[in-house]
Amino acid sequence: MNMAFQMLGIKREEVYIANIVKCRPPANRNPEEDECLACMNYLRNQVILLKPEIIVLLRKCGFKKYFRKRIWHNVS
C-alpha cells in the first residue's frame, strides 16, 4: 500500500486508513450487518473529526454498506 501512495506522489503521513468494523470477524470473514452497525457511530465520528478531503471505499463490503439501497437496485 505504501508503494502505491509513493507512486502517486502521496506521503503515507497524509493518508488515514479506517475500516468499517474496528475488529476483524472470526476466520477473516466479511462482517455481518449487525457488526457493521455496531461500529458505525465510531466510524462516522472519525470522519467528522478528520474532515477528509477524499474518502475512498475499498472492497465490495465497504462500498455496499455505505451506499446500501441507494444504488444497488440500479446495478445489474
pLDDT at 76 over 60: no
Residue 14 lies in a domain: no
Domain range spanning residue 42?
19-72
Cβ 12 vs Cβ 5: under 8 Å: yes
Residue 70's pLDDT band (boundaries 50, 70, 90)? low
pTM exceeds 0.85, yes or no: no
For 13-63, write each residue's pLDDT tens digit: 888 888 888 888 899 888 888 888 888 888 889 989 999 888 887 776 666
The number of CA neighbours under 13 Å toward the Cβ of 39 is 19
Cβ 22 vs Cβ 31: under 8 Å: no
For the chain, what is the domain count?
1
**CA angle, residues 11, 17, 23, in degrees to nearest 5:** 150
**Residue type at 25 in one-letter notation:** P
Helix, strand, or coil (residue 39): helix
Residue 10 lies in a domain: no
